[in-house]
Amino acid sequence: MNARVVVRADGDETVLLPANGPPVVVLDWVSRRRNVELDLHRLSTRLPQPLSDSAQDLLEVTAALVMGDHLVPRGANEQWVRSLTFAIPVRLPGTWEAAAPALTSLFHLMTGDNIRLEFRPRACARVTRTSQAGLRSAADCVSLLSGGIDSFAGAVASLEEGRRPLFVMHRSSNATTLEAQRRVVGSLRSHYGAAFEVIGVSLGVSRVREPEFVLPSRSDREPSRRARSLWYLALAAGVAWSAGIEEIVVPENGIMALHVPMGPSRVGGLSTRTTHPEVLACFASVASEILDHRLGIGNPLLGHTKAEVVRDILRWRVSEAEIRRTESCWQAGRHPRPCGGCVPCLQRQLALATAGVGPEAQQMELLGNPESHRGTDGFRNLADLLGMVAEFSRLPDDRLLTRHPALGQAGLPPAAAIGLYRRFAAEVVELGHTRYPALGRMLGTGQMAEGRGGR
């Protein structure tokens, strides 16, 4: 799929659209008839100091990349990889031209897509204070908070250690995710008082009824959203710059962060790398250069499975009910319950069972009776996951490194990365013996073939 993504700037009365060529998506968050919601002015008035030109640029460039990733659909099979051109107005074009190669590589690392970046100058308009006072923060780090288990655990661990995190979240328009975020913040307040601040900003399709530029319909958008964490990282970087903070914390369990492809059909952009250590390092380098502010981005949960995160951090400090009030499903809000079949849902169910937390209702009760869901995406996800578990349970280290070279680029020593996956595999095998005998039968008889070719 080839497409061009054009960002409208303040003062653009018209946007010239080519008469022919690839499809064009126009992103507009500056006019009354906008099609994207992005209010950096509201964000800036909450910060210790208003966003600089470079910080505004960083947030708007990443917003364009994330929205383009979402709005331009992929094709099937060989058409999965897209070639996208982004035309983005910036306040500091020279800085962005210099950063373009690194940003292009970062986007390819996350999505597998090929992009071309075109930057054009726009007027520099600093955000000025209104009557609303900016945040006065004594924070020592910026930490992402999503409403999920891992970021909840990261927040709890930081506060237990006496740290002073400034929490940043994408304020979701999804009612299910928004409620999970509210519940997590409420739990943190109930346990730790008002000793922290939370900043949330929305980025998404506008609810304006008749935007000047119509975006693709919901069914024509791309659901994979491999670049989504760019927005979270940019938001954290902008807040860190404003507060004079150099450390950003991105809590994600090691299995999901490393996200070693579960099968040969899931390599490259077919597996998410939203919080992979290489992605975090690349983004920190780009953002530090753009902002002229040294940033370090770390993941304190990288060496832990999700079950270890729940068992060793959360269960000691919060109730099971509070753990269950978090949200993990990639299809949150599309069903009355979590879908039960996406990879995060499967990881969550396995983790909670291993950590001794009671089961949750799922739209698809897959672990107890997988055969009844044969032929679904959920079954293919489970089959691929169990195929990976079988490999890490049986193969020696050298064979694993050959089959999964990403283990050598994991931000951990290869032996530690393999050890992490072996512990996860042992957790799943144990559940197959004790709680979910159907999983044990699938592992024992090698009934994973159906999933090894799925996406």
Handedness of CA 392, 394, 395, 397 (dihedral sign): positive
Task: State how far the Cα of 232 lies from the Cα of 201, in Å rounded to an integer.
Answer: 9
- Over residues 219-237, the mean pLDDT reads 93
Task: State how far the Cα of 348 lies from the Cα of 19, in Å rounded to an integer.
Answer: 48
Residue 184 in tokens: 């997590």
* pLDDT tier at 56, thresholds 50, 70, 90: very high
Residue-wise pLDDT for 373-404, tens only, equals 999 999 999 999 999 999 999 999 999 999 98
Number of neighbouring beta carbons within 10 Å of residue 338:
24
Categorise residue 305: left if φ over 0, alpha if ψ from -120 to 50, beta otherwise: beta
Instruction: Give the side-chain half-sphere CA count within 13 A for 45.
Output: 9
pLDDT, mean over the chain? 90
Residue-wise pLDDT for 129-166, tens only, equals 544 455 666 899 999 999 999 999 999 999 999 999 99
- Over residues 248-255, the mean pLDDT reads 97
Cβ atoms 181, 145 nearer than 8 A: yes
* pLDDT tier at 445, thresholds 50, 70, 90: low
CA 93 to chain centre: 28
Cβ atoms 87, 6 nearer than 8 A: yes
Residue-wise pLDDT for 302-358, tens only, equals 999 999 999 999 999 999 999 999 999 987 767 788 999 999 999 999 999 999 998
Residue-wise pLDDT for 396-436, tens only, equals 999 999 998 888 877 889 999 999 999 999 999 999 999 99
Task: State how far the Cα of 200 lies from the Cα of 90, in Å rounded to an integer.
Answer: 23
Cβ atoms 110, 273 nearer than 8 A: yes
What element of type H or E holds 407? none
Domains of the chain and CATH, by start = 2-121 (no CATH), 141-209+225-298 (3.40.50.620), 328-450 (no CATH)
Task: State how far the Cα of 367 lies from the Cα of 300, in Å rounded to an integer.
Answer: 29
Cβ atoms 122, 96 nearer than 8 A: no
Q: Can you give the C-alpha Rg of the chain in angstroms? A: 22
